[in-house]
Structure 1
Amino acid sequence: MSAQSSQRKSSRGRKSHLYEIFVAAFLLAMSLVFYLNPAALNSLRFIVFDSYQRFAPAPTPEASPVLVVGIDEQSLARQGQWPWPRTAMARLTEQLGAAGARAIVFDIMFSEPDRTSPEQMLTWLAPDQRARIESEVADWPTHDVLFGQAIERHPVVLAATLHRTPTADEFPGKAGIVVAGDDPAPFLTAFEGFTGNLTPLDDAARGIGSMNWRPDRDQVVRRIPVLFRVNEAIAPSLALEALRVAEGEETYLIRSSNAHGAAAFGQHAGVNQVRVGAHVIPTDPNAAVWIRFRRIDPNSRLSAWRVLQGEFDPELVRDRIVLIGATAPGLLDLRATPVAAAAPGVEVHQQVLEQILAGRYLTRSDVASGLEILTAIAAVLLLAFAAPRLSAGAGASLGGALILTIWGASLVAYLSWGQLFDPVFPSICAFLFGAGSAFYLYRRTELQRAEIRRAFSQYVSPSVVKQLVAQPDRLELGGEVRDLTLLFCDVRNFTTISEKLGAQELTTFINELLTPLTDIIVERGGTIDKYMGDAIMAFWNAPLDDPEHARRACEAALGMIRALVDLNLKWSAAAQDAGKPFTPVKLGIGVNSGECCVGNLGSERHFDYSAIGDNVNLTSRLENLTKRYGLPLIVGEDTARRLPDLPFLEVDLVRVKGRTAPVRIFTLLPALSVAEAEWERLKTAHDAFLTAFRSGDAARARSLLDALANRGIEELKDVYALFAKRLETLDEARAEVWDGIYEAAEAG
């Protein structure tokens, strides 16, 4: 059994080897794609994250701590075209400062002198006009000075623009930077230069922050860097600087990888968080924050013209961070976000600040990527394990359930914890592997079915082939122990027959004989094991179960005997027409049942579907005994015991070569030239003889044998002659040692 088990395992191992290679190759390719992170994958990931935000955007706060003063179309209509004089900016600053704003933040650049300032207007006049007016305005403060004075009196934050054009000046940062852990500079979005405001304005401001964005490839703003690198300096974003000024802080604390309490295991993973006073801002390694956007509400803004004309409630401003920026579409400060195709840039800054102040963050954890690839691998491995064991429908259902689970978990993570978990990559991997494995297994099944058709179409009936093709798992390749009924068939005196025939005639004879005999076996559900010259070996109950295998084998044997009668008539007529002598062809058939090892047996390069074992050897010896007994058919005891309703005639008790225990051998009465009406009388007389013979009653046995021989049954002539000879042995033997067993091993 151990050898059969090893053989079966080897066969199954070869069968699954290519599938395992397919799974491993898919996992390798999947991991490579994930590592390369192609733009198409990122785009799909962003589409999903954007859809989450559109489905469940951030709630609009009832009382936002951040107010937008918008330079809207109404303000432009009342105050005139943009840009407005710096005196208007000064008046905005004074009004908001007087109303108690915590910080006044300009999302506007003031990098050039105010052209409406008197000293600037002189440059437009002719020399004579300039000379008459110049002395009148010489003592007037410039608009920029007035604006600078307003800035100095209030907590104002101005903007700066970072760019790739190198500049020699150092970024005019207003706060100190404290770093815990690795140097964050290599991980920050880097620029070579910046454009600031007029120096007096920058000097007067309490904070300077970058107004730059970092849109993704599709130009949608999803993440906002809160820190940048300008040459060797670290520059805060406009929103971060507004927060610092509003909180009255002087320093930023940047925590990077390998800081105390930040798990990086020695790897340089970038920025973890930025701290401003009591506010801890989690960031990605590049110091950017994901924004969970809310819907734009134009009614929440305060129009700039109302502030300029004093037509606003100071309570709207008190203790709030006030952002001043363009909201009029014509000023072109619009940005695409996940929830809005065109949102004013100043409102994006507003939402960043709202998120930080509320402590409500949308985050993509450092371990998110690891979880995504592990989820993909787990999904693929689960499908890889299940696919060969499930039907196509069940496999598709499992794949669909996996994908739905991944998407559900991703949505729950977003809604419950504000975590961005990408369901796209694991889902695509599960879908592609499911489709690929289905095709692979379908193709393998088709090849297996084709192999089954090719291997069995010549040896078993079409109905059996059809069942094997439909259920290939019923075929145990590599060898299994099954209860079989075996049949061996051989032509008597084939050597003598072949000597009388030429090569072509012999080939024709073999084909004419074996074809109808094979058809009879196959029609009765048998499997042809092999042809051995003029001999056939066949068996029943493999590869498919057949509860009636013993009966079918016996029916096939009787059918072969009847078919030979017709063949002899045909060959006799042909010989007579050719003027040649004809000797009738005779068959010897052995049938036996018992356990055998059956399957694809042989080497890896060549194997046959065959049966081996002790019962195969016994059947072969039973077929060989037909020569000694002159019978067309001998059936083993195990087969006869299973078919008590068939008319068996016990022939003898024989000890065959290789076995110590004797076996009873039988023939079927329909195989004899005896009328059916005589079967019962013949069987009664024959059984009485065997009883007398085996009991050692020689006189009675001889009397009964003579009566049987006188019946003149051609097929039993040699049987009774053999018993007559053995009765002589009985006369010489002592009764106490007589057992009536025929020692077939001693026979020639």
Structure 2
Amino acid sequence: MPKKKKRARLFEAKIFAFVIALAIVGLFVYAYYDTMLLQQAEGAILDTFFRIKTGRESRAVQEGAILAHKELKLSDKILIIGIDQKTLADYGKWPFPRTRHASLINAFSRISDQSNRENALFLDIFFIDPDPITTNDAILVDSMQNSGTVFIETVLNAFGEISDNDPLKLRQKALYENYGVIRNISGSWKTLVPFYSLQPPLEPYGRAAAGYGHANFLSDADKIYRRQPLVLRQSTLIKTLRLDDLTPGYSVNDAAYERLAWQDNLGITHEIETPLSEASIKRLTERMVKEAAMRVEDSNMDGVPDDSYYVIRHFRDEFVPAITLSLALNYFHSSVDELEVVVGSHIRIPRPRVRDEETGELVPYVLQLEADEFNADGQLIKEGKRRVVPEIRIPINNQGQMLVNFMGSRSAESPDLGPQTFPVRSYSAYANRDPGLDPDSWRRTLAVRDKILMVGAFATGMAEDEKPTPLGMMYGIEMHANALNTILMDNFIIEAPEWLNLLVIALAAFLIAFISSQIAAIAAMAVLVILVVVYFFGANMLFDTSAYVLYFASPSLAAAITFISVVVYRVFTEERDKMAIRATFGKYLSPKVVEQLANDPPELGGTDKELTVFFSDIRGFTTLSENMTPQELVNHLNEYLTAMTDLALDYGGTLDKYMGDAIMCFWGAPIPQPDHAVLACKCALKQMLVLKKLNENWPEAKHIDIGIGLNSGIMTVGNMGSKMRMNYTLMGDNVNLGSRLESTNKEYGTGIIISENTYGLVKDKFIVRELDNIRVKGKNKPVVIYELVDCLESIEPPPLGVAGKKK
């Protein structure tokens, strides 16, 4: 038979599965760097981890099991003062007159024991426009100056333009002069998000405040707020240039954080690398012609443009700290000048110090790691473990963002209304307690010693200050509190580096490729599900215990896509293999056996198996051929061979070959048949009966007489031949013995002779007559031979699908 075209080794499922995995890894690498799809998926998983963690801790707190553990992750120095419904009921519609804020500040600053003062008082309130009553601004500014602890915020806008002489810029300079800007910055600072306009507080407020910071939060691609940019880039326009004025070698002062940029038709700003070269100017020109609009000038206002050109902008960048970073620096008695910012790596606060509650002196910052143990009387038995914090190292990404470690869902307005992550007190409860100017009427304390007071909206609909977070909607002031708590407690979420995430994706894809190419699809799917579930709990445990974020969605998705792809490939290749098997065996196996082979392919090649071989030959063929023309002989033989071959196939036999008028068949391969000898014997008897009926319908001159020889034993079966042409056939001494037995029929005048080997396998089911103990040509050892006479049971062909199977 023709040799089946062999598939290249590369395209075998077990090998090509890895090619599929490699392609999928490449696709995920592209998605990682060029889209936000993977980051969005991972964000959703991170939200799930947050909900699992806070849900578990919340239950544990309610049950009283690990209350101390939860408190150890929450700073007791943070107190939220919420402008809540009670406050709105007391004071009316927002915004309040600024004298209300002055009363709040005075309530905290006017205490008799100044050592009981707050560490900082942050007002998450805009002071961009003057109060309708001018004196109110003066009263509030005076309170801020007298307090010395008030921090205010500035807001940076992504769009717009501002120059050094702009009034808003002058307001911002008041903040810079009073508190400073971040100067020790390294790394790729141009990857920080640029902001081109400002909404700073009025200048008197900027000069009266103890500190400032930007209040911006930036959402992820899915509009969820998970990060706070601790450093933002505020860009001031120095001058504008004409594109055609640029020359090779033109540069800016990189050390002063200057840069060139241009805007496209959508208003998006694009950086220009300097120094310029002829090639870079040419590329810039080509791109601006396609994507940017020209500035048109009509100096004489006659409606006819006098000039038009492309605009290049020259910016100077300054780096503004987040309000939470400023509050943390103040708490640690540090300053922006001591900060070390490495964009894409970390922000370092060296040697954090806090004021000792007993002595008032500055001491190294210490964090408690384990809860203290007390007896039933409340006496301390054992102090929990603590550690000195030599530095605060805040992990940030290329945009200067810190992943906020949210500690719980939005807090209720009061403990009576529900759980609170951070303690929340009503604004009016303090603002109503301004004792006035007389020191004799001042209280000794308001129980806020060394606390960071955070004042902001805490009533639904009061302001656009509710944002979606991993734990649901949350007021802006509590988002700031979570960010500040992350820094104070040195409780940062560490994101796995890019290389590790990509490595996990690759490992997942290649592991599933290996598994799904080796075992059945159902089993591989079960393994995939188990691995994904185990990995989910492992990743969640890593986040819960070590605040380490390892990608989960991407590796799982890569594994699932790999599994589907490999299974689909296997289906197509196995279908092609089935087609090849049908083409290979369809000519000499029954259709039902071929279908079994297609569903359960055999191991092709030379193998030794116990089989039964069948030989039949026409006696007196020469005489028969002399009585017919060649065409008549062919037609007559075809009728005979068709009948005999169909019977062999009906009994589950494999047609080996035709040798002139002789037929060679065998049982037991390629599909194993435990009763191969029984099937062969029944087939031989049935052939004799069918031949008798054929002879009855033929003229006597065309009668055919045959002899059949059967032998069982170990034989070599497989594809044999040359590379150009192969046959699925048998070899071995037992094959030769079967052929010898067929020719031996002439000597004994019998129709069917079986060997002692075959007899041993069928003796309980057939009637035989022992003939002789002979030495066959080519064999030294005598063989007992038997004539097959009849069968003790039905010799009809077995039902479809059970040929060769035990009944």
**TM-score if structure 1 supplies the norm length?**
0.72
Q: How does 1:222-233 map to 2 (within 5 A)?
A: 222-231=226-235, 232-233=317-318
Counterpart amino acid of 2:335? E
Is 1:506 the counterpart of 2:624? The answer is no
The one-character-per-residue Cα deviations of 1:665-690 (angstroms, maximum 9, x if unpaired) are 66533479xxxxxxxxxxxxxxxxxx
Distance 1:549 1:650, change over 3 A: farther
Distance 1:167 1:15, change over 3 A: closer
Instruction: Quote the Cα distance in structure 2 between the aligned partners of 1:608 and 1:311.
Output: 106
Are the aligned partners of 2:677 and 2:761 in contact in 1 as well (CA < 8 Å)? yes
Which structure shows the higher helix fraction? 1
Indicate the SS of the match to 2:652. coil
Residue 597 of structure 1 corresponds to 716
The one-character-per-residue Cα deviations of 1:227-270 (angstroms, maximum 9, x if unpaired) are 1122322211011111112332123666677xxxxxxxxxxx82
Are the aligned partners of 1:290 and 1:361 in contact in 2 as well (CA < 8 Å)? yes
Is 1:519 the counterpart of 2:646? The answer is yes
Q: How does 1:161-560 map to 2 (within 5 A)?
A: 161-164=155-158, 165-169=160-164, 172=173, 173=176, 174-175=179-180, 177=182, 179=184, 182-231=186-235, 232-251=317-336, 270-275=344-349, 277=352, 278-293=391-406, 294-295=408-409, 296-299=411-414, 300-310=423-433, 314-338=445-469, 341-366=472-497, 369-387=498-516, 389-442=518-571, 444-445=573-574, 448-449=577-578, 452=581, 455-456=584-585, 459-460=588-589, 464-465=593-594, 467-468=596-597, 472-473=600-601, 475-494=602-621, 497-498=624-625, 500-502=627-629, 504-560=631-687
Instruction: Quote the Cα distance in structure 2 between the aligned partners of 1:108 and 1:159.
Output: 7
Measured after TM superposition, the shift of residue 90 of structure 1 is 3.6
Larger Rg: 1
Is 1:67 the counterpart of 2:198? The answer is no
Measured after TM superposition, the shift of residue 514 of structure 1 is 1.3
| Aligned equivalent of 1:669, options 787, 794, 800 | 787
Q: How does 1:84-123 map to 2 (within 5 A)?
A: 84-98=96-110, 100-117=117-134
Instruction: Quote the Cα distance in structure 2 between the aligned partners of 1:15 and 1:308.
Output: 78
Indicate the SS of the match to 1:514. helix
Are the aligned partners of 1:622 and 1:635 in contact in 2 as well (CA < 8 Å)? yes
Residue 154 of structure 2 corresponds to 160
Instruction: Quote the Cα distance in structure 2 between the aligned partners of 1:341 and 1:591.
Output: 82
Residue 647 of structure 1 corresponds to 769
Instruction: Quote the Cα distance in structure 1 between the aligned partners of 2:691 and 2:724.
Output: 38
Are the aligned partners of 1:102 and 1:246 in contact in 2 as well (CA < 8 Å)? yes
Is 1:36 the counterpart of 2:31? The answer is yes
Distance 1:501 1:323, change over 3 A: same
Residue 129 of structure 1 corresponds to none
Indicate the SS of the match to 2:664. strand
Residue 20 of structure 2 corresponds to 25
Are the aligned partners of 2:740 and 2:777 in contact in 1 as well (CA < 8 Å)? no
Distance 1:480 1:254, change over 3 A: farther
Residue 707 of structure 1 corresponds to none
Are the aligned partners of 1:184 and 1:256 in contact in 2 as well (CA < 8 Å)? no
The one-character-per-residue Cα deviations of 1:470-492 (angstroms, maximum 9, x if unpaired) are 5x15x212332223322232334
Instruction: Quote the Cα distance in structure 2 between the aligned partners of 1:626 and 1:550.
Output: 19
Is 1:53 the counterpart of 2:63? The answer is no
Measured after TM superposition, the shift of residue 426 of structure 1 is 2.5
Q: CA RMSD in A?
A: 3.9
Distance 1:19 1:499, change over 3 A: farther
Measured after TM superposition, the shift of residue 513 of structure 1 is 0.8
Measured after TM superposition, the shift of residue 350 of structure 1 is 1.3
Instruction: Quote the Cα distance in structure 2 between the aligned partners of 1:68 and 1:528.
Output: 90
Distance 1:316 1:51, change over 3 A: farther
| Aligned equivalent of 1:610, options 725, 729, 735 | 729
The one-character-per-residue Cα deviations of 1:119-178 (angstroms, maximum 9, x if unpaired) are xxxxxxxxxxxxxxxxxxxxxxx8348605733650232211112323224764434646
Mind listing any 5+ residue stretches in structure 2 that lack a counterpart? 59-69, 112-116, 236-316, 353-390, 415-422, 436-442, 791-807
Mind listing any 5+ residue stretches in structure 1 that lack a counterpart? 1-6, 119-141, 258-268, 576-581, 673-748
Measured after TM superposition, the shift of residue 542 of structure 1 is 1.0
Distance 1:605 1:56, change over 3 A: farther
Are the aligned partners of 1:110 and 1:198 in contact in 2 as well (CA < 8 Å)? yes
Counterpart amino acid of 2:413? P
Instruction: Quote the Cα distance in structure 2 between the aligned partners of 1:427 and 1:282.
Output: 26
Q: Which moved more, 1:15-24 or 1:296-305?
A: 15-24
Q: What fraction of aligned residue pairs are identical, expressed as a percent?
A: 28
Are the aligned partners of 2:740 and 2:776 in contact in 1 as well (CA < 8 Å)? no
Instruction: Quote the Cα distance in structure 2 between the aligned partners of 1:483 and 1:24.
Output: 40
Instruction: Quote the Cα distance in structure 2 between the aligned partners of 1:96 and 1:102.
Output: 11
Counterpart amino acid of 2:729? S
The one-character-per-residue Cα deviations of 1:434-477 (angstroms, maximum 9, x if unpaired) are 4444454455555555655565455345664565455x15x212
Instruction: Quote the Cα distance in structure 2 between the aligned partners of 1:583 and 1:344.
Output: 105
Counterpart amino acid of 1:101? E
Are the aligned partners of 1:406 and 1:426 in contact in 2 as well (CA < 8 Å)? no
Which structure shows the higher strand fraction? 2
Instruction: Give the length in aligned residue pairs.
Output: 615
Are the aligned partners of 1:598 and 1:611 in contact in 2 as well (CA < 8 Å)? yes
Instruction: Quote the Cα distance in structure 1 between the aligned partners of 2:577 and 2:598.
Output: 8
Q: Which moved more, 1:412-421 or 1:594-603?
A: 594-603
Are the aligned partners of 1:155 and 1:246 in contact in 2 as well (CA < 8 Å)? no
Indicate the SS of the match to 1:647. strand
Indicate the SS of the match to 1:351. helix
Are the aligned partners of 1:592 and 1:619 in contact in 2 as well (CA < 8 Å)? yes
Measured after TM superposition, the shift of residue 560 of structure 1 is 3.3
| Higher RCO structure, 1 or 2 (CA under 8 Å, sep 6+) | 2
Instruction: Quote the Cα distance in structure 1 between the aligned partners of 2:90 and 2:468.
Output: 30
Instruction: Quote the Cα distance in structure 2 between the aligned partners of 1:432 and 1:453.
Output: 31
Distance 1:644 1:309, change over 3 A: closer
**TM-score if structure 2 supplies the norm length?**
0.67
Instruction: Quote the Cα distance in structure 2 between the aligned partners of 1:316 and 1:489.
Output: 111
The one-character-per-residue Cα deviations of 1:357-416 (angstroms, maximum 9, x if unpaired) are 1222333232xx544444444444444333355445433322221121122112212222
